[in-house]
Amino acid sequence: MENKVAIYGAYGHTGKFLVAQLYQQGFRPILIGRDADKLNILSKDYPDLVIKVADINHPETLDVAFADAEIIVNCAGPFLDTAEPIIQSAIRLGKHYVDVSAEQKAVLDIFEQFSEKAKQADITIIPAAAFYGGLGDLLSTTLTQGWDKVDEIALYIGLDSWHPTKGTRLTGERNHYQRFMFAENRLQPVLEVKSKIWEFPHPILRKEVVTVPLSEIITISRHINVNTINTYLSQNSLTDIRSDETPEPKPVDEKNRSSQRFCMEVVATKDNKQRSIIAEGIDIYAVTAPLIVEAIKRILTGKIKKQGVTTLGEGFDATDFLSALDADDIVISDIKETDIN
């Protein structure tokens, strides 16, 4: 597993979770970023890993940095800036590409610009393979198995708090594009914000949730035949990230996770049937790492079902993928099915 994985943005908050988890599982990733000093600091913790400086404005530096890898993981956001140059390099070199983008437009652009080119280059590209974009897509896929047509997928994300990183704040500021909702079987500009009260299990409990146009709208709608997708986020977490006073996440455990708790519940309906599934865990940045690691292992062992641009739910066996995750990272409930009137 020497040098098979190249991580761009390796010294960022999310990048570091990924490096730690890959290293702990025996991978020896190549650590890449634009800042030599930050790479050197990270390198003190991983003296045996190769580091490379590469800049998205100098494509030749990207090609050199990625040359030895099989998979490029891009953890450097805003992805509206970094995804295109890095994917261009992946296509030139014939390497697979995975990222953690949370911006709808970045994910849409990747599908639109690179689907054909990725197929021609014989590579797989998976945007949004993370807490936002990826996890909800996996849950929705396993939940709707056997249903050829789904009336609604509603995704409820409850966070007890959200201390955003610098990258999250920058990405929010950079993303001033049209947001989309999914209704009547198609993407449409967001017209309204809906809110309701949702009962999450302990410790999140009862929360006001509001519709937020997340990247799951894009990933889920690419491959599930669904009429309507609604993505809700707890209002308290939006208040947190909108305040300049909210601090960055602080590590509190041996995996450097913060104390943040999350719960993601997905409810799917078809005719008079309703199914639901719940994923729970600690720290939405940290949990992105095991999702990416699982995707990497599956790509390297040929368990990917599709070439070109795809999603975690479409590209892999979603049920098997979720069951492979460690309960210390994420706990997934059984699927509950009920009749509704």
CA gyration radius for the chain? 19
The residue written with tokens 């704040």 in the block is: 169
User: 225 pairs with which residues across the strands?
Assistant: none
Question: Would the CA dihedral through 281, 285, 290, 295 be positive or negative?
Answer: positive
Q: Are 332 and 279 in contact (CB under 8 A)?
A: yes
Peptide bond between residue 85 and the one before it cis (omega within 30 degrees of 0): no
Q: Kindly state the smallest distance separating residue 3's Cβ from ligand NAP, in Å.
A: 20
Total count of residues recorded for the chain: 341
Q: Which of residues 136-165 bind ligand NAP (CB under 6 A)?
A: 165
Q: What's the closest the beta carbon of residue 55 comes to ligand NAP, in angstroms? A: 7
Tokens at residue 151, please? 């009336």
Cβ atoms of 187 and 272 closer than 8 Å:
no
Residues 263-292 contacting ligand NAP, CB under 6 A: 285, 288
Residue with smaller CB distance to ligand NAP, 114 or 285: 285
Q: Give the footprint of ligand NAP on residues 39-68 (CB under 6 A).
A: 56
34 binds ligand NAP (CB under 6 A): yes
Shortest Å, Cβ 277 to ligand NAP: 18
**Which segments of the chain does DSSP mark as H helices, in order?**
13-24, 36-43, 59-66, 79-93, 104-120, 135-143, 166-174, 216-221, 235-242, 288-300, 312-315, 318-323
Q: By CB under 6 A, is residue 13 in contact with ligand NAP? A: yes
Q: Are the beta carbons of 182 and 226 closer than 8 angstroms?
A: yes
First to last CA, the chain: 53
- 258 near ligand NAP, judged by CB under 6 A: no
* Interactions with ligand NAP, residue window 176-215 (CB under 6 A): none
Q: Which of residues 209-248 bind ligand NAP (CB under 6 A)?
A: none
Q: Which is nearer to ligand NAP, 22 or 150 (CB)?
A: 22
| Candidate segments 13-21, 114-122, 137-145, 272-280, binder of ligand NAP by CB under 6 A | 13-21
* 165 vs 246 by CB, closer to ligand NAP: 165
Question: Shortest distance, CB of residue 252 to ligand NAP, whole angstroms?
Answer: 17
Site residues for ligand NAP per CB under 6 A? 9, 11-15, 33-35, 38, 56, 75-79, 81-82, 100, 102, 128, 130-133, 165-168, 171, 285, 288
